[in-house]
Chain A
Amino acid sequence: MAQKLLMGNEAIALGAIRAGVDIVTGYPGTPSSEVLETIAKYRNENTYVEWSVNEKVALEVAAGAAYTGARTLVTMKQVGLNVASDPLMSLAYIGIKGGMVVLVADDPGPVSSQTEQDTRHFAQFAHLPVFDPSSPQEAYLLIGEAFALSEKYHTPVIFRPTTQICHACASIDIDDFITKHPPAAFVKDPKWVIFPRLSYQNHIKICQNEQRISEEFSTAACNQITGHGNRGIVSSGVSVAYTREVLSDTDDEAALLKLATVHPFPEKLALAFLKERTEVLVLEELDPVIEEALLKLCGKHQLPVKIYGKLTGHANIAGSNNYETIRASIDKFYAREGSPSTAVSLPPLPVRPPVLCAGCPHRASFYSVKRALQQQKQAAVFSGDIGCYTLGNASPLDMVDTCLCMGAGITMAQGLQRADNSVKHIAFIGDSTFFHSGITGIINAVYNQTDITVIIVDNSTTAMTGHQPHPGTGRTMMGSLTEKVSIEKVLAGCNVKYIKKANPLHLQTAIATVSEAVAFHGVSVVLFEAPCIALFKPKLKREVQTDRCTGCRRCVKEIGCPAISLDETGKARIDTALCYGCSLCTQVCPAKAIGGISL
């Protein structure tokens, strides 16, 4: 036994290795990405790890492996499960042989996501057990329980940490125990082929299993009652830690039911808790899943217990929890005036939204499209997508008019074009997102003869989530080299008639290429290739020759590079610590005042 400072995601990864995981697949997504990366780093020689092309693919690869008896883990963020929901729903009916855990990280806040969806609903919807760890330490041990339960009931199990569990670091007791399980082999059997008759029979089975698992969860060590009193608090996830902290500060007497498994709901345990209480407050992040389960239980057993939570206005319906939100809920539960908010007036603070890094080639891509359209006096709508390049929405670029979900830029541009062809419709998509779910959109556009321009911003990595490899990078998560899948050839294979590559950092050529693509009638694609700045070290930096700078502010106003600011005299200044020498500012400066300095 050793103690180590581990991030929640690292703890989950080591817990999965401890549980003897054989095959790990996933698609990067904050806050889940470090789980798979950590397994890749510490895996045994027999463990296989891959970044799959998307979450649906990842889940299907893992399901195949689980049919043989191998222990498998699939990792994704909450919106990734939307993509993987098709195989998941069917797999719930078919079941698996080897333990299969689907790790889906929810993102209350949301900190880095499109939605605040609650994966516990998905577990209910799909009839799958779900674990909801309340700390990194608990997550380390609970992931093993999840594998064991999965194997026992031949069902995939969802493991749902939230951002504050994934990205918190804690001192964790780890051991080098590894669970052994029988070797894997696929045995042919009609049970692996989904048919309506089989689904009917299995529907009955999974509902019966839900009953059994509910009973098992009622006695599970991870679900506990502590404390006494007529009043009770039921909590799960990170809210448990805040609840304990607040209760130790307020000295309120309350019984606490801490739940780490929310579906199938541990009814027996919850019933025992409710019977001793008159009033109960539910503290959970995202949707009122536990609250509704308790209300249902009160109705079923006609218990005279009042349940408070999100549905009664005692807790926030959106956003993440912290000490203050939990404190406010508990104060309200005890009908206390909250501590007066000491509103202080701070001096004005600058807003600081996230921006494209200095030197980011996406800035040049957006800017060249903007300039090309200006030159041609062509109005356009810009359909964005998910990745660093969503940040092209910020001033002064202002180049993202829509953004919905992975891969939706190309397809939404087609709908926009059908309904409003008075302007040009231009979609932006990154390389990893293109492989994830952009290709079907391209095929649809070609097949249905749409008139759109697609700008692929290929920076040779999955940048936003931490620079994971993908099919276009020629590297795998096992550390091997593999043949790159060429985006250009994929496009050609899809019958795209206009495909041109350009380096976005060569501004004049880039503008000319975009102009030509926009003028093309039909599906045209510009493939902008330039690596993410995180992939190389700059050889050159830019410097303003102050005597030449006229203070026209064009560099600042046009490209919005975070390395450029204005000095006291109103002249441009470049922060050499941030500059990557991309030269976009040099090409924009009308006074030729920005030169390069070698390092």
Chain B
Amino acid sequence: MKLNCLLAGVGGQGTVLASRVLAQTAMSRNFPACTAETIGMAQRGGCVVSQVRIGTTDCGPTIPLHQADLLLGFEPAEALRNFSYLKEGGIALINISPILPVTASLGGCEYNINAILEYIRQKAASAIFINGNDLCRQAGSAKVLNVIMLGVAARENLLPFTKADLLQTLVQNLPEKFLELNRRAFEIGYTYKEQGRGGLHDA
């Protein structure tokens, strides 16, 4: 079992926790795992990437270009920015809710959400789109996109673990007071209503 998973998003979206949960769940299933994170200045609303490599030990901490099996795009533009890491035949799970950088609001650069999503839809062998803002609203917190994404990934069988495996890791890693919210978020992801695979009906 080998899996390279790249998580791309914006600082503050919780990619670090998600990648740790993936790696720790892999270890609980006796697969070796390693991760690499963006920590430091870029965390302040900049582009962040987390990388998880499961099932190998003789490898560097970051994934080579065109070798990611799975791209978890926490934000559409950041998913596209890292799209070339996805291998041919790889799967993209994309949150379609954009986070506009200040540069875009100031009019200094373009953020064409439709062009971005259309590109991913056409180029990925398989792309699953979710509306992160809607799902977070259902969960009652904007901070649980990471766990919702894990829930969707589990439901879509994108990961070599079961829902129970992932939930167990969450229980081990989250403080008691956030547990109920995160269980709910995971369940919302796990039972989300498919709104078009490789399509943009929910955009």
Give bound CA distance, A477 to B115, whole Å.
49
A-B residue pair count with CB separations less than 8 angstroms: 165
Q: Mark B80-124, 1 if CB is under 8 A from A, else 0.
A: 110110000000000000001111111011111001101100000
In the complex the two chains form, is B40's CB within 8 Å of A577's CB? no
**Taking A394-B102, A577-B142 as contacts, is the C-beta distance between A347 and B80 under 8 angstroms?**
yes
Q: Mark B170-197, 1 if CB is under 8 A from A, else 0.
A: 0000000000000000000000000000
Q: Mark A232-263, 1 if CB is under 8 A from B, else 0.
A: 00000010011011001000000000000000
- Label chain B's interface by main secondary structure: mixed
**Partner of B119 from A112, A242, A347, A557 at Cβ < 8 Å:** A347
Interface segment among A310-318, A349-357, A503-511, A521-529: the answer is A349-357
In the complex the two chains form, is B61's CB within 8 Å of A347's CB? no
Q: A167 to nearest B CB, angstroms?
A: 5
**B contact residues, range:** 35 or more
Within 367-400 of A, Cβ neighbours of B (below 8 Å) are at: 388, 391, 394-396
Within 464-509 of A, Cβ neighbours of B (below 8 Å) are at: 464-465
Q: Which of B32, B45, B109 has the most CB of A within 10 A?
A: B45
Within 388-426 of A, Cβ neighbours of B (below 8 Å) are at: 388, 391, 394-396
A164 at interface by CB-CB < 8 Å:
yes
In the complex the two chains form, is B60's CB within 8 Å of A323's CB? yes
B162 at interface by CB-CB < 8 Å:
no
In the complex the two chains form, is B23's CB within 8 Å of A245's CB? no
A429 at interface by CB-CB < 8 Å:
no
Q: Enumerate chain A residues within 8 angstroms of B143, measured Cβ to Cβ.
A: 577
User: What is the chain A residue whose CB lies nearest that of B142?
Assistant: A577
Q: Enumerate chain A residues within 8 angstroms of B146, measured Cβ to Cβ.
A: none
User: What is the chain B residue whose CB lies nearest that of A168?
Assistant: B61
A324 at interface by CB-CB < 8 Å:
yes
In the complex the two chains form, is A112's CB within 8 Å of B62's CB? no
Within 570-597 of A, Cβ neighbours of B (below 8 Å) are at: 576-577
Within 297-325 of A, Cβ neighbours of B (below 8 Å) are at: 322-324
Give bound CA distance, A323 to B102, whole Å.
32
In the complex the two chains form, is A241's CB within 8 Å of B60's CB? yes
In the complex the two chains form, is B24's CB within 8 Å of A357's CB? no
Q: Enumerate chain A residues within 8 angstroms of B3, measured Cβ to Cβ.
A: none
Within 47-95 of B, Cβ neighbours of A (below 8 Å) are at: 47, 58-65, 77-78, 80-81, 83-84
Q: B177 to nearest A CB, angstroms?
A: 13
- Of the A-B pairs whose beta carbons lie under 8 Å apart in the complex, a sample of 23, sorted by A's number, is A5-B24, A30-B39, A111-B38, A112-B41, A164-B36, A168-B37, A169-B35, A170-B61, A171-B27, A245-B60, A322-B60, A344-B84, A347-B115, A347-B118, A350-B77, A351-B109, A357-B44, A391-B41, A396-B106, A557-B106, A560-B102, A560-B106, A577-B142
Tell me the A residues contacting B by CB distance below 8 Å: 3, 5, 30-31, 111-112, 136, 164, 167-171, 238, 241-242, 244-245, 248, 322-324, 326-327, 344, 346-357, 388, 391, 394-396, 464-465, 556-557, 560-562, 564-566, 576-577
